Chain A
Amino acid sequence: MGGAAEPQPSGKGGKKAMDAAINLVPYIDLLMTIMTFLVMTAVWTQIAALEVQNASGNAPQEPDPNDKPPPALFVLVSSTEVKVQEEGKEAKVFPNVDGVVDRVKIGEDLMRLLKDVPERHDVKVKSEPDVLFENVAEVIDIATGTCIDKNQRDTCLYQITLNPV
């Protein structure tokens, strides 16, 4: 087992066959070794990280006096709803659907607010004490994924702050 086809004379007049016998045994051995290594080192659980900065307690960075920062964007998470509010404006309320935050509508609203002020990069997420982390993580995830152009980080809401209400 494990050899390629035996060379057969293909031409007339005793011409030399062009087919060559290839021994497949080392090739199969190599594949088996690679497979064993890969199966033994395989990581089946795919994980990712959601970064929050300057979370509860840390002093905020000193703003540049020449810079006029865009109006702050707040996302307030409670156990029944999520409120999205731009500083100085009225909050929009998104009730949870079956106990889970309304990902699509919140995403659309954040995108609208980002397009209004493209130089905005930070979102202040505030959560009530009894909110489950899976809902907070969902909101952070939505905010992190809000980008005008996914390939350019400067067009995203990448600076997420997490604080209690």
Chain B
Amino acid sequence: MAVEVRKQRQSHRFHSMKLLGHGGHGRSGDVALNVTALVDMMMVLVIFLVMNFNASGEMLFLSKDMKMALSQNGMEVTRVPIVSISYSDPNRCDAEEGKPVDPQCIKGDGSRDLYFEGLPLGVSLNELDENELVIAELEEKLVENRKKFEMVGGSRAEDLPPEEDPTTTVNVQVHGKTDFKILRKVMTTCEQAGYGRIRFTTGDGRKADGGGHGGGEHKEGEH
């Protein structure tokens, strides 16, 4: 598929400039350009992007303080309420094997925060009472979420598959360096609020080798 050479120039002014000519002998300004390679490249890119396309979109809220664990056998993430536990890791700037140190990296302060649907709840998980298993702020948000859904959707939740039911299922997005004692409080709170089906979101190790780590980097890294 070669490019068609026009019979007539579009711009007589350009033609009169004889930019492409040498020594006053005007050469035709038309250049035969083969677009086959261009079209091939575009096709490859389109196929690659279509294969990576995710209709459910970017559901999770990722930041530098959210580096998720990896899984090889995880299921598809569904759109149900998202509870996030972040950790501002003081060691996150340390050099990892085979990776250069980022000179612009800012060390974390060790704080652990709780979010519901991407919004901070103002709860510092490091300062919670050891013996208190229920986080009142989170429970309130979860109950409110169910009420809202029932108000709008009525009994629609009953028709949904269990893993998509936003009144009983919750996605819990946890930083990999979170202690189980903190996670337990969040799990107990979810159950107390009637969300007994807990789905931990992780990076998908199958699709991206060692990847799926959250964080602003959006890049793959070794576990």
Contacts and interface: CB of A to CB of B under 8 A. Distances in A.
A and B associate: yes
Interface of A: 1-6, 21-22, 24, 27-28, 31-32, 34-35, 38-39, 41-58, 77, 100, 127-134, 136-138, 140-142, 144-145, 162, 164
A12 B33 CA distance: 30
B175 A133 contact: yes
The secondary structure that dominates the A interface is: mixed
A48 B191 contact: no
Contacts of B68: 47
8 contacts: A48-B212, A50-B75, A52-B199, A53-B198, A129-B184, A130-B181, A133-B174, A136-B183
A134 B69 contact: yes
Contact of A3 (B4, B43, B62, B73): B4
B180 A48 contact: no
B191 A4 contact: no
Contacts of A42: 49, 52-53
A47 B205 CA distance: 8
B47 to A, nearest CB: 10
B178 A132 contact: yes
In which size bucket is the chain B interface? 35 or more
Interface stretch (B34-42, B100-108, B120-128, B147-155): B34-42
B50 interface: yes
Contacts of B176: 132-134, 137
Contact of A127 (B175, B180, B192, B200): B180
Contact of B45 (A1, A35, A47, A131): A35
